[in-house]
Amino acid sequence: MVEPGVQIGPYEVREPLGSGGMGEVYLARDPRLGRELALKLLPPQATDDVAPVERFVREARAASALNHPNVITIYEIGEAEAGWYIAMELVRGETLRALAGTAPRSTDEVARLGAQIARALAVAHAAGIVHRDVKPENVMVRPDGYVKVLDFGIARLVSTDAGRMTAVEAPPTVAGRAVGTLRYMSPEQACGEAMTAATDIFSLGIVLHELATGTHPFAAASEVATASAIITAAAPAPSALNPAVPAEFDTLVARMLDKDPTRRPAAVEVELTLAEIGRGPTVAVPTRKTTAPERHTVGREGERRMLRQALEEVESGHGLLVSVAGEPGIGKTTLVEEFLADVSGASRPLRVARGRCSERLAGAEAYLPILEALESLIAGPHGTAVANEMRELAPSWFVRVTPASNPTGPGGATLETRGGSSEQMKRVWARSRFASASRSISTGSSTPSFCSGVRASAAHQCVLVNARSRSRS
């Protein structure tokens, strides 16, 4: 155990956060940047064997190769007197273990969490990386609902052939033991056979089943019995244990838990299916309201008029980004939601998409609400048209939203799977026709400010208009 105040590399240890098979994790501070981070330390005695060091380095390399909001960010790897260390993003929240294996979770919650995990796996698989240890303990859920996939310590690079992943032999293990966590292994993993990305899909299927039912689908009295059930037994349908589970969820989980890895869905398909399940059944609504919606704000006619004028400008063929600026708590969200209710009730071909804003997103992840809104549009009924628009105008954003759906860009050029950096994405946003014009509407802030659409905070409510596809978020 490292005492608080000890210096490891450039970092100052504050307090222990936890420990596991690959070492101890500490809360630390980087005095150079003035930020807190998580420091994973491999004890010096572990360096006597080359295997733990190789696994430690593999974790850092695999995770750092992926630049995605749902994958933990690696800052650096180094060696100090206290041992090898990995400096990584500090994720506040709790692991999925706190939710899995207890009471069944709602289908909406399972779909929301599962879609984010699948999204992270899709990015990894597109980069040729198989996680091989997908389980509740390796997934963190932040207080704002964002998921982070952790621990790529046994991740494995696989070869690709014409965009398709091919199997690789599992590396030798101690005493013939398969690599991974037994309760969440795929059948081929439990048998020590060759693996592809499909092994992560099976493991995620177990996690989804456990979240939806509160019960592990292959629970048994011993490790041997558990392994036998994973290899040979059929998992019960989630709805048999939780009648609230819809048939679509049953079908998806059954496909994910297929013993034949070639018949399991890809991570991208899992994400899109869960997103659809999370939206629930489509309810028909009248195209035109017979009465005006109930008003909850007073004295905002000027702002409503400006929003209506902005929409009319967009309908004439001009893209526009509108920022409703003001202090927190003065009714920006209510104003925009009332406006959207008004225009959605009219006979206009509009589509609404939303992204969650949070003060926690200020900085490197400030563009996440925009990504979330775009993802919902692509997962919607007009997703193909939106995807084609994004592929043409903002390819670095496109690969973030659909990381494995189309690996090549115009002329057959390979798109960068990881997408651009935060700054690159902001530059693409600024010059693209998605944000060809901008306007700020003050709602009473003493210092009105312009919201670029990638620095969203509680002080701003952003409205994005895409002139070509008539999409609005």
Residue with tokens 């919902």: 376
Query: Does the structure show a pLDDT above 50 at 6?
Result: yes
CA distances, 308 to each of 152, 311, 352, 471 (Å)? 49, 5, 15, 15
Residue 426 CA to its chain's centroid (Å): 19
Integer-rounded Cα Rg, in Å, for the chain is 24
Mean pLDDT, the chain, rounded, equals 74
Residue 440 backbone phi and psi in degrees, to 5:
-120, 135
Beta strand 7-8 pairing with 11-20: antiparallel
Residue among 393, 325, 380, 391 at smallest CA distance from 350: 380
Catalytic residue among 30, 48, 133, 161: 133
Query: Does the structure show a pLDDT above 70 at 409?
Result: no
Q: How confident is the model at residue 122 (pLDDT cuts 50, 70, 90)?
A: very high
Q: What's the confidence (pLDDT) of residue 435?
A: 47
Query: Does the structure show a pLDDT above 50 at 111?
Result: yes
DSSP code string of 306-346:
HHHHHHHHHHTT--EEEEEE--TTSSHHHHHHHHHHHHHHS
pLDDT, one tens digit per residue, over 152-179 is 755 554 444 433 444 333 343 443 445 5
All structural domains of the chain with their residue ranges:
7-88, 94-169+180-279, 301-472
The pLDDT of 72-84, averaged and rounded, is 84
The pLDDT of 356-362, averaged and rounded, is 48
- Distance separating alpha carbons of residues 420 and 76, to the nearest angstrom: 19
Q: What's the confidence (pLDDT) of residue 296?
A: 55
133 carries an active-site annotation? yes
Q: How confident is the model at residue 280 (pLDDT cuts 50, 70, 90)?
A: low
CB-count exposure of residue 346 (10 Å: 0-12, 13-18, 19+):
exposed
Residue among 417, 349, 329, 379 at smallest CA distance from 124: 417
Residue 83: beta bridge partners?
80
Q: What's the confidence (pLDDT) of residue 366?
A: 53
Query: Does the structure show a pLDDT above 70 at 85?
Result: yes
CB-count exposure of residue 1 (10 Å: 0-12, 13-18, 19+):
exposed
Stretch among 36-50, 255-269, 417-431 having the lowest mean pLDDT: 417-431
Q: Which fold has domain 94-169+180-279?
A: Transferase(Phosphotransferase); domain 1 (1.10.510)
More confident residue, 24 or 28: 28
pLDDT, one tens digit per residue, over 428-461 is 656 554 445 556 666 654 333 323 333 333 344 4
Q: What's the confidence (pLDDT) of residue 186?
A: 95
Residue 299: how many other CB atoms lie within 10 Å: 8
* Residue 455 identity: R
- Output the pTM of the full model: 0.59
Superfamily of domain 7-88: Phosphorylase Kinase; domain 1 (3.30.200.20)
